[in-house]
Structure 1
Amino acid sequence: MKIEVNSAGKMQKEILVSLTPKEMEQFLINATRQLSIGLKVRGFREGHIPRNVAESAIGKDKLWQEASKEAIESSYIEIIEKENLHPIGRPWINILKLAAGNNFEFKITIPIMPQIDMPDYKQIAKDVVKKKKKDVSVEEQEINDSLKWLQKSRKDNDTSEFDDKFAQSVGSFKTLEELKSNIKEGLKYEKEQKAQQRIRLEVLDKIAQELDLEVPEILLQEELDKMQNELEQQVAAMDMTLDKYLENAKQTIVQVRNEWEDTAKTRVLNALVLRLIADKENIEPDEKEVEERANRYLMQFKDVKDAEKNINPDYLRLYISGIIRNEKVFELLEAVNVK
């Protein structure tokens, strides 16, 4: 295998790969074996079809397509390890030449972490919190509005007075004051969480401005794909297809993705900032914690075994590792303000 690694900006590498016909032979054998499963050819027992006959029945295009897919996957893993590369997103593959008797040539483009000097992110976090953090309070009117919402949400259309009897009918409360206290705590917690999220996003934004990073197209499109998938799940929960949703909105998916671009760029930059800080501080999630969280996630499904079949365990652990790593970075930044 011949490879050539080139930089394509601060955050991308382009890898040109060339495999000889001899190197492709094993991938073609594997592809023939895989595509022969269930293949029926008159005069031969299933699973005992000669390779040349199977190749003819499968067709050259389909065979080379399968072989090239395996060759790319195998080469990619080998190259990443050999060149000590650390991709932060999925690769883009561009096939340059694929024909029998010729070298198989393709280009891999991968996003990588930039090698840059980090600003004083702890001081930035401290400054933002100092300017933005405010004490959270809950007004009596907000509590009363919540009581009215509780009353309206009851199936029996209860219109009784807000008293101890009402509180006892709502849950394990003895008095109205207990219920109101519980509501106040809930509203306060919700406000604190929203305030914390706003401050966290502003901290990341300030750090990103200091870094002056450009979002690689490969990461932007990957984030837009995630957002599209999120939308598909949301409309599916409403028993609607994405196509139907777009039809009702009188928009195309291209228009929607264009509208999302600024949000997608912000999300990518936030993720990059968190990862850069984690790398600099050597923050890594504990494997035991990752395993525990993964198990808890799977327990949400009615059929855990079925969920395990449909969810790639490696991707799940990678996803949860990212969440835990980000939490630890925020804990680090917020601890600065406690001192």
Structure 2
Amino acid sequence: MNVTVETTPTSDAAFHVQVDWASIEKESEKVYKRLAQTQKIPGFRPGHAPRAMVERLYGRNYLYEAAIETLVEAAIDTAAIEQQLTLLQRPHVHVHDLSEGQEQDVTVTVPVLTRGELADYHDIREAQEAVTVADEDIDRVIDNARERMADWVPANRAAALGDRVTVDLKLVVGDKTISDLKDHEFTLVEDRTGLFIGMDQEIVGMSEDETKEFTTTLAADYAKEEMAGQPANYTVTLTKVEVKELPAVDEDFLKKVGPYDTEELMREDVRKDLTLSRTNTALRQLKDKLIADLIERLTLPVPQVLIEAETEDILQDMQNMLSRERIDLDRYLQLMGKNADEYRQELQPEAIRRIKQRRALELLAEREGMEVTPQEIQEVIDAYNQTSPASKRMRLNQLRPSQRLSIERSLLRDKAQDWMMQHLTDGTASVTMESDAAATLAVLGAEAEGTPA
């Protein structure tokens, strides 16, 4: 079987396949046996109908045409791997003029992602951002921990921003009651949005057991158009005002977050963890800059069909992430004021960037002579098998060519990124270190800023 490939500027590839008759005859026997086994043929048990009977039911040419389609599809898959072409659709093979006993010439055009061209990249130089941790940063982390461990105590005064209040609340828009809440508890904030916009400022200054009627105006761009810009009429009775009381940084506090013997030891661990966190962030940013520089040196036409497929992958990732938080994608988009088509359009530049990133890294790996060993592939399979049920475990010798290629490309991209970090930086890039005090951040939290809601 002989295969030649011609690529076009429009990201299509024409596969010209010559199939010898001996291969067709051999494959047609497999087609016959499959039909005899799986199809109901009157008068015969499954698998026992003679070929002449099957040919009579389906047509003699059908067996040969199905055999040619199978052989051609397999030849195209192999040729695409050899030519480093990514098929964007399954090839559709149609045999029209069958000449029995003769070699068959079949041409199939398939949209593909071509190799692309990567210009020289050895002049790229990027530096890792310097990592510093100030005393104020440590104070902020500790203060955030104090905020989370704070108690709410009676304020014994009028309500103020930042207080936690308990209210009976009735909200009417037009002639419709939107909310009728009893003993509803929330924190007063300055910049509330959505349905209750402007409410907090009206409650500020109220005292316990006080009832107040007031009117706010819903935002002109409120999600429900029939309510947008309308007056919102409130009746609020304030039943409780509480203020947050932060714990002192004392022996009891140190015991809960550590335990630590002294405040100095706690601050030392916080500094260590912040340094690690910021170093990792700086390394990710450095890697992103290097990849952006590499993509600028790549010439690669990206077919729309691939952009759309990558966009759907990103959208699916988003949906999976939201579902873990029990958030519906449609509801999320509604809150953002967008529909699915608009969001897909916004995602397309990121889809193109991801496609180009993969190809640029693969071309760099090829140019630098990087290879993937069977042992490295086996390690990937072992990691997969450790988290998979027995029925889905894989073996190296059972991988389909496309599966093996996918693993190899992924490993090559990882190696290319490591190479860039070693050779295209100014030599200041740090090695990511393991945290000896990971438990500290679990208690004190990451370097979040501001007061929790």
Q: TM above 0.5, one fold?
A: yes
2:420 aligns to what SS in structure 1?
helix
Deviation of 1:266 (Å): 0.9
* 1:265-308, Cα deviation, whole Å (9 max, x unpaired): 1112222221222111112234323322431233234x3x2331
- 1:275 and 2:362 aligned: yes
Unaligned runs of 5+ in 1: 153-158
Cα distance change of structure 1 residues 193 and 323 upon mapping to structure 2, 3 Å threshold: farther
Quick check: which has more Rg, 1 or 2?
Answer: 2
Q: Distance in 2 between matches of 1:233 and 1:99?
A: 45
Which residue number in structure 2 is paired with residue 134 of structure 1? 130
Which residue number in structure 1 is paired with residue 192 of structure 2? none
More strand per residue: 2
- 1:112 and 2:127 aligned: no
- 1:189 and 2:186 aligned: no
Equivalent AA in structure 1 for residue 427 of structure 2: V
Deviation of 1:5 (Å): 2.8
Q: Are the equivalent residues in 2 in contact too, given 1:168–1:175 (CA < 8 A)?
A: no
Q: Are the equivalent residues in 1 in contact too, given 2:24–2:64 (CA < 8 A)?
A: no
Q: Distance in 1 between matches of 2:250 and 2:290?
A: 45
1:107 aligns to what SS in structure 2?
strand
Cα distance change of structure 1 residues 333 and 248 upon mapping to structure 2, 3 Å threshold: closer
Q: Are the equivalent residues in 1 in contact too, given 2:91–2:108 (CA < 8 A)?
A: yes
2:6 aligns to what SS in structure 1?
strand
Equivalent AA in structure 1 for residue 74 of structure 2: S
Q: 1:76-225 residue pairs with structure 2 within 5 A?
A: 76-77=76-77, 79-80=79-80, 85-87=83-85, 89-93=86-90, 95=92, 97-99=94-96, 101=98, 105-115=107-117, 118-119=119-120, 121-124=121-124, 126=125, 128-129=126-127, 133-137=129-133, 139-148=137-146, 151=149, 161-169=248-256, 177-217=264-304, 219-225=306-312
Q: Are the equivalent residues in 2 in contact too, given 1:96–1:107 (CA < 8 A)?
A: no
Deviation of 1:170 (Å): 5.1
- 1:45 and 2:45 aligned: yes
Q: Are the equivalent residues in 1 in contact too, given 2:25–2:64 (CA < 8 A)?
A: no
Q: Distance in 2 between matches of 1:262 and 1:313?
A: 33
Unaligned runs of 5+ in 2: 151-245, 429-453
Q: Does 189-198 or 102-111 show the bigger shift?
A: 102-111
2:14 aligns to what SS in structure 1?
strand
Q: CA RMSD in A?
A: 4.4
Cα distance change of structure 1 residues 163 and 108 upon mapping to structure 2, 3 Å threshold: same
Q: 1:38-77 residue pairs with structure 2 within 5 A?
A: 38-54=38-54, 67=67, 70-77=70-77
* 1:57-99, Cα deviation, whole Å (9 max, x unpaired): 7899997996565233322145458xx5222x23534537444
Q: Distance in 1 between matches of 2:324 and 2:63?
A: 39
Structure number with higher relative contact order (C-alpha < 8 Å, ≥ 6 residues apart): 2
* 1:303-323, Cα deviation, whole Å (9 max, x unpaired): 3x2331699845665455444
- 1:230 and 2:314 aligned: no
More helix per residue: 1
State percent identity of aligned pairs: 16
Deviation of 1:334 (Å): 2.5
1:123 aligns to what SS in structure 2?
coil
Cα distance change of structure 1 residues 77 and 193 upon mapping to structure 2, 3 Å threshold: same
Which residue number in structure 2 is paired with residue 289 of structure 1? 376
Deviation of 1:263 (Å): 0.4
* 1:229-258, Cα deviation, whole Å (9 max, x unpaired): 434544554678xxx734873677655433
- 1:33 and 2:33 aligned: yes
Q: Distance in 2 between matches of 1:238 and 1:59?
A: 56
Q: Does 268-277 or 321-330 show the bigger shift?
A: 321-330
Q: TM-score, normalised by structure 1?
A: 0.71
Q: Are the equivalent residues in 2 in contact too, given 1:137–1:188 (CA < 8 A)?
A: yes
Q: Are the equivalent residues in 1 in contact too, given 2:381–2:395 (CA < 8 A)?
A: no
- 1:245 and 2:329 aligned: yes
Q: Are the equivalent residues in 2 in contact too, given 1:11–1:114 (CA < 8 A)?
A: no
Length, aligned pairs only: 320
Q: TM-score, normalised by structure 2?
A: 0.56
Q: Distance in 1 between matches of 2:49 and 2:70?
A: 22
* 1:44-67, Cα deviation, whole Å (9 max, x unpaired): 122212335456778999979965
Deviation of 1:144 (Å): 1.8
Q: Are the equivalent residues in 1 in contact too, given 2:69–2:93 (CA < 8 A)?
A: no
Q: Distance in 1 between matches of 2:41 and 2:98?
A: 27
Which residue number in structure 1 is paired with residue 427 of structure 2? 338
